[in-house]
Amino acid sequence: MITLSGALSQGLEILVALAAAPLLSGWIGICRARLQGRRGPSLWQPYRTLHKLFNKESVVALHASPITRLAPYVVWGCMTLACAIVPTLSTDLPLSPAADAIALVGLFALARVAISLAAMDTGTAFGTLGARREMLVGFLAEPALLMVLFSASLITQSTGLTRIVATLSNGQLAIYPSLAFAGIAFAMVSLAENARLPVDNPATHLELTMIHEALVLEYSGRHLALIEWAASLKLFAYSCIGLALFVPWGIAETGNPLALLLAVPALFAKLLVGGALLALVETLNAKMRLFRVPEFLATAYLLAVIGMLVHFLLGA
């Protein structure tokens, strides 16, 4: 049964995700520019870009099928639903019982398949090249992400994200060696899944290096705006997954409206720190060769598996 507080928490969480996702991208851009000695774009530049794209006409390839037109809406919907499932502000989420950690990974996979099919649908060389690289990254990153989520679920005896957050935040402050390995693995997967350095550089259009940009070269107007918005939502969702698993404090519990109000500034404070750390990682690392990406993600998978083995051996 959906309560009034649950509906309020769920609606507020979706609104915060839709509004704050471009802000997080803008903050990371500012931090990168300052660390590199540049002035950088405005904090509100992502909003201006979305506004400009939504007001432009969408041009679609002549022989494109409906897949090309539907893919941006599917990707945006999947990322919005993913943000709604992850407990960012409260554990009182009506959508959380319908989707656990496994379903969350499935949403990311569905969005990847949709955008890859759309990239191949136009029949261009760049689109097909980007689709193949995207599926390769997803094929290696999704198992590692599942192992990370399973490491947390073994501690809490549940694959529900709200149950995991409630257990970790209300338990005694303790150091879990399994979560330490899982945290490193999650950081590596997050860099790959969000096309960040050292795996990918979203600011380049070089044929030999681009992955994400090759998927969206044929899009324009509102379709491109939805894809860019979805990319920000994906980064926001991954950031909130990391905060929920490894820094769960500050998230409101069920039936506590005052804590829900305090959870909003707590979330923004954690995102500010996390965005600055991500910018620092991207500044200190160079783009790796494409053929080194499988080794990078295989290392993440092994670290996540080691975390599970540590839990079985030490019970922590």
pLDDT tens per residue across span 200-231: 876 666 666 677 778 888 899 999 999 999 99
Q: What is the pLDDT of residue 40?
A: 82
pLDDT tens per residue across span 239-266: 999 998 898 888 887 767 778 888 899 9
Q: What is the pLDDT of residue 7?
A: 83
Those residues whose C-beta lies under 8 Å from the C-beta of residue 10, and which sit 6 or more positions away, are: 84, 93, 94, 95
Note down the domain range covering 74.
Answer: 4-314
pLDDT tens per residue across span 50-62: 999 999 998 888 8
Q: What is the pLDDT of residue 221?
A: 92
Residues 142-163, mean pLDDT to the nearest whole number: 88
Q: What is the pLDDT of residue 172?
A: 65
Q: Mapping DSSP to helix (H, G, I), strand (E, B) and coil, where does residue 146 land?
A: helix
Q: Which residue has the tokens 């506004």?
A: 51
Those residues whose C-beta lies under 8 Å from the C-beta of residue 217, and which sit 6 or more positions away, are: 124, 126, 127, 130, 205
Helix 161-170, helix 101-121: angle, nearest 10:
130
Helix 177-193, helix 221-246: angle, nearest 10:
170
Neighbouring-strand partners of residue 90: 252
pLDDT tens per residue across span 154-212: 888 888 888 888 888 776 666 788 889 999 999 999 999 998 888 887 666 666 667 77
Helix 4-35, helix 257-284: angle, nearest 10:
30
Evaluate whether 73 touches 44 at the Cβ level (below 8 Å). Answer: no
Q: What is the pLDDT of residue 316?
A: 61
Those residues whose C-beta lies under 8 Å from the C-beta of residue 3, and which sit 6 or more positions away, are: 92
Neighbouring-strand partners of residue 252: 90
Residues 7-14, mean pLDDT to the nearest whole number: 88
Confidence (pTM): 0.93
pLDDT at 297 over 80: yes
Q: What is the pLDDT of residue 200?
A: 83
Q: What is the pLDDT of residue 233?
A: 96
Q: State phi, psi for 189 to the nearest 5 degrees.
A: -65, -40
Evaluate whether 12 touches 267 at the Cβ level (below 8 Å). Answer: no
Residues 276-290, mean pLDDT to the nearest whole number: 89
pLDDT tens per residue across span 89-137: 888 888 877 778 889 999 999 999 999 999 999 888 888 888 888 999 9
Q: What is the pLDDT of residue 155?
A: 84
Report which DSSP code applies to 36: T
Number of folded domains that form the chain: 1
**For residues 12 and 18, what is the distance between their CA atoms, to the nearest angstrom?**
10
Q: What is the pLDDT of residue 314?
A: 78
Report which DSSP code applies to 97: G
Residues 4-9, mean pLDDT to the nearest whole number: 80
Evaluate whether 137 touches 192 at the Cβ level (below 8 Å). Answer: yes
What are the tokens at 152? 């947390």
Q: What is the pLDDT of residue 301?
A: 95
Evaluate whether 93 touches 85 at the Cβ level (below 8 Å). Answer: yes
Tell me which H or E stretch contains 173. none
- What is the DSSP annotation of 1-16? ---HHHHHHHHHHHHH
Q: What is the pLDDT of residue 175?
A: 72
Q: What is the pLDDT of residue 261?
A: 84
When comparing pLDDT for 5 and 311, which is higher? 311
Q: What is the pLDDT of residue 95?
A: 82
Evaluate whether 14 touches 8 at the Cβ level (below 8 Å). Answer: no
Q: Which of 116, 134, 130 is nearest to 194 (CA)?
A: 134
Identity of the residue numbered 186? F
What are the tokens at 303? 């670290």
**For residues 306 and 91, what is the distance between their CA atoms, to the nearest angstrom?**
29
Q: What is the pLDDT of residue 24?
A: 96
Mean predicted lDDT score pLDDT of the chain: 88
